[in-house]
Amino acid sequence: MSESLLTVESLVAGYHGSRVIDDVSFSVGPGEGLGVVGANGAGKSTLLRTISGLVAPASGRILLEGRDITRLSPDRIARAGVLHVPEGRRVFSGLTVHENLRTGTIAGAARAGSSADPYDAVLDLFPRLRERLNQQAQTMSGGEQQMLAIARALMGRPSVLLVDEPAMGLAPVVVKRVAEHLRTIREHWGVALVVAEQSANNVDGIVGGHQLLVDGRLREVDSGGSDRANLLAAYRAAGAD
Ligand code: ATP
């Protein structure tokens, strides 16, 4: 891969002494993507939560443009440019689309060197949200709420976006639309994208083929070999649309 934006080195993390993330290393550059693929409970969310500072790692390092962010608080990691769209699209249900987007501005405004307001660019990317600016989030469809959750994160001007199971609970046609938006964010906005999904099929088009496969313990990306081929075949079968 080219110049690295996010680098994860020998990361070990879990809960109460358990090793959910077991010696994981990878790197993602600007405009590149990584799919984190695995079954329920395999550790995908734990990996994303560790990168965004919500779970403290037992060992290993997380670097952003070469700077060690491993022990920073979640808000400082967000302000540094790593934003997390958690599983279950947690938008503020009682706030309007406009208000939800403005909550996302806060982290971005605090970033050094950021001046341009991304509001219009974000709404250009999600015209459906522009049509619904004054609508309460809770009245929108699951797909629209997922787009709002992604759009809100973009308001924070991420250089790295961590997206946890964006396809969950959505109809296949909506999954496709969300995937197209994420690919645009990676390819045209130059954001480094890490996307967790249960199905390899759901992330292939978004991330451009780089996958970290999970089977209870995370493995290194592009490790090659028959283990990897077997796992990939299993996940493709599991997620076959
Ligand atoms: P899902 O598809 O369900 O989100 P996942 O691959 O994201 O699955 P994780 O949520 O990271 O998996 O969970 C990995 C393991 O860690 C599971 O065994 C889970 O029970 C455990 N775990 C997750 N969160 C906690 C927690 N807060 N405390 C203790 N154990 C946890």
Q: How many domains does the chain have?
A: 1
Q: Is residue 102 part of a domain?
A: no
Residue 121 Cα to ligand 1 midpoint, Å, equals 35
Q: Is residue 41 part of a domain?
A: yes
Q: Is residue 72 part of a domain?
A: yes
Query: SS3 letters for 188-199?
Result: CCCCEEEEEECC
Q: What local confidence, expressed as pLDDT, does residue 39 receive?
A: 81
Q: What local confidence, expressed as pLDDT, does residue 120 receive?
A: 92
Please choose, from the candidates 230, 241, 228, the residue with its C-alpha nearest in 3D space to the C-alpha of residue 199. 241
* Assigned token pair, 135: 């609508």
Q: Is residue 197 part of a domain?
A: yes
Whether residue 107 is predicted with pLDDT greater than 60 in this model: the reply is: no
* Assigned token pair, 17: 């002494």
Domain containing residue 180: 6-86+158-238
How far apart are the two ends of the chain, measured CA to CA in Å? 30
Distance CA 211, CA 228 (A): 10
pLDDT digits (tens, 9 = 90+) for 156-198: 999 999 999 999 889 889 999 999 999 999 999 999 999 999 8
Q: What local confidence, expressed as pLDDT, does residue 221 receive?
A: 46
Please choose, from the candidates 183, 173, 172, 117, the residue with its C-alpha nearest in 3D space to the C-alpha of residue 150. 183
Q: What is the ipTM of this complex?
A: 0.94
- The CATH number linked to 163 is 3.40.50.300
Pocket flag, ligand 1, residue 69 (CB < 6 Å) = no
Pocket flag, ligand 1, residue 87 (CB < 6 Å) = yes
Considering the entire predicted model, what is its pTM?
A: 0.87
Residue 116 Cα to ligand 1 midpoint, Å, equals 38
Q: Is residue 1 part of a domain?
A: no
Whether residue 224 is predicted with pLDDT greater than 70 in this model: the reply is: no
